[in-house]
Amino acid sequence: MLEVTVESAQQFFAEAFAPWLHGLNVTIEEIGPERAVLRMPFGEHLCREGGMICGQALMSLADTAMVFAMIGASGRLRPMTTVGQSTAMMKAIMDADVIAEARVVRLGRTLAFGEIFLRPDGADDPAVHATSTVALLPEK
């Protein structure tokens, strides 16, 4: 079994994720069996009119955070794909890095379920809540 570290997770992100996602400048701050914590630095390129970070960027961050929570929970890099994500935007995020905290609620043989909270850096209360269903694909 591969030891999953912040460094190996960040390298996996750099090598295996779609190039457009790299524009979010996501960094993995923590990864382990209980949760994954990611940071998306604030940038004007993420904002819609009025200076709020757009929902598409927030949903992409939530989806990415769940991938790393699944990797942390299973203890290895493995093929998977998101089959469902439900996202509730509870409050706008403006002028702040976004912290994503994802945890696996249930890790089955073929499906896994998780929960993600996004909050502005420095805040305790979540601004976004997402739930995710991930299909765990056969390993080659």
Q: Is the pLDDT of residue 3 over 90?
A: no
Q: Is the pLDDT of residue 140 over 80?
A: no
Q: Is the pTM of this model over 0.85?
A: yes
Domains of the chain in start order, with CATH, are 6-136 (3.10.129.10)
pLDDT at 76: 87
**Distance (Å, rounded) from C-alpha 95 to C-alpha 47?**
9
Q: Is the pLDDT of residue 2 over 60?
A: no
pLDDT at 23: 94
The string of pLDDT tens digits covering residues 72-130 is 999 888 889 999 999 999 999 999 999 999 999 999 999 999 999 999 999 999 999 99
